[in-house]
Structure 1
Amino acid sequence: MSLKGKIEAIIYAAEEPVTVDQMAALLRDIVLAEIAQEASNAAAAEETANGETAQADAAAAEGTTPEPHAESAPETPSEVTGEAAVEPDAATEVSAPETTSKKKAPKDPELTAVKAKLRTVLAELVADYQSDARGLEIRQIAGGYRMATKPEHHDVVVGFAKSLKPPIRLSLQALETLAVVAYKQPVTAPEVSEIRGVDSSGVIATLLDRKLVTTAGRKQVIGRPILYKTTKEFLLRFGLKDVNELPSMEEFEKLGDAGQGVLFEAEQKSAGQSASDEAARADDEMMAREEDEIALQDDVVARAAEASGDANASEDAASAATEETKHEPAHAEANSESAADTSEVQGSTNENA
Structure 2
Amino acid sequence: MMRKVQRAIVELKAGYPVLVSNGDEAELVFSVEGLESPSFRAWLGELDSSTLRLTLTPKRLESLGIECAGAGGVLDVPLDDRDDMAAVVETVRVLSSECAPQGGFFSDFGTPGVIQEAGLVLMRQGRLLPASVSVTVPAAAWSDVHAALYAQDLIKVEARDVLAFDGSVAQHLIRISEAQVPLEGAEETRFVMFREGGGLREHLALMIGGSANWPDPVPVRMHSACLTGDLFGSLRCDCGEQLRGAVQSIMAAGGGILLYLAQEGRDIGLANKLRAYSLQDKGLDTVDADQVLGFGEDERQYGIAVSMLRSLGINRIDLLTNNPAKLQAMRDGGIEVGQRRELLGKVTPHNRRYLAAKAERAGHLLETALKAGGH
Answer yes or no: same fold by TM over 0.5.
no
> Which protein shows a greater Rg?
1
More strand by share: 2
Scaled by the length of structure 2, the TM-score of the pair is 0.23
More helix by share: 1
Scaled by the length of structure 1, the TM-score of the pair is 0.24
